[in-house]
A and B are shown apart, each in its own frame.
Chain A
Amino acid sequence: MTDSTLEVQKAIVGALKGDAAIVLLTGGRIYDQPPQQPTYPLIEIGPSFGDVWEGSDMDGWEVVMTVNVWSEKPGRVEASQIATAIKSAMHRAVLPLDTQQFVLGDVMGTNVIPQDDGRTTLAAIRLRFLTHDE
């Protein structure tokens, strides 16, 4: 049972940082944990869920990862635009992993949530990946 969550996270960050449209929209601000006083907009790797996905002779892992987009511009346009760029980059993505085999990557859905602070907007994109051993 090999938890590939960190490998998948590294590959997602690599893919997002390598995407010109995303870098242009966010200034390349892609964080595991954003700074206390961040510059917006930014992308944050959000909550993840990992599950065993196995069969005889197969050690596999399913990762559901949320990528959060935080925007400070009024309204949801900027957050939605960045979310769309992330979805384009991640839809049917094939990501390079260090030790595991990549099976599939899909976008499961997006939530756009104006925050109670009346200032920021969150777009949370849920991604799903399957990996297995060599």
Chain B
Amino acid sequence: MAARRGSELIIRRGDGQPSETFTAIGAVQSSTLDINGNPIEVTTGDDVDGNNEIWQTFITGPKNFSLQARGIAKSTQPLQNVYDDFATGALTNYEIVIPQLGTFTISMIVGAMSFEGPYDGVASFDVTLQAAAAPTTFVAEV
């Protein structure tokens, strides 16, 4: 199987309806998704190898899922929806497709938004979404 295009990493926002429809949050041109296990260090003086050297020791910590998307707003609604989520602190379902990995459905909060206005370029936005809980579903890519 071949490597895949970055544009196949897809982020879609749910409309909150019982049978949820997921749509793009704008013309995303770059996105980064981080899954962090936040390992907790539990090293003690007993954690030594055969040469009596101490090794750092960890246990798994609280997991965390966040993503950053950068793009262009082609129309008003998608951007305003994301801002409304930020303003009201709404938990919103997102569908996130990661090439070669699979599709997550996950409830997210808007952690941060920023807007850029290059004088000779196109206005763009940057949004950081933070998982509000563990993913609701994960369907591995086949």
Contact = CB atoms under 8 A, between A and B. Distances in A.
Given A132-B27, A132-B74, A56 B122 contact: no
Interface of A: 54-58, 60, 101, 103-104, 106, 130, 132
Contacts of B72: 55, 58
A55 B122 contact: no
User: Helix, strand, loop or mixed for chain A's interface?
Assistant: strand
B120 A58 contact: no
B32 interface: no
Given A56-B28, A56-B29, 17 more contacts: A54-B29, A55-B27, A55-B28, A55-B71, A56-B10, A56-B26, A56-B71, A57-B26, A57-B74, A58-B72, A58-B74, A101-B74, A103-B122, A104-B121, A104-B122, A130-B122, A132-B74
A22 B106 CA distance: 58
Interface of B: 7, 10-11, 24, 26-29, 71-72, 74, 120-122
Contacts of A132: 27, 74
Contacts of A58: 27, 72, 74
Given A56-B7, A56-B71, A106 B120 contact: yes
Contacts of B24: 56-57
Contacts of A60: 27
B38 to A, nearest CB: 29
Nearest to A106: B120
Contacts of B7: 54-56
Contacts of B121: 104
Nearest to A58: B27
Contacts of B10: 56
A38 B28 CA distance: 48
Contacts of B26: 55-57
A56 B27 contact: yes
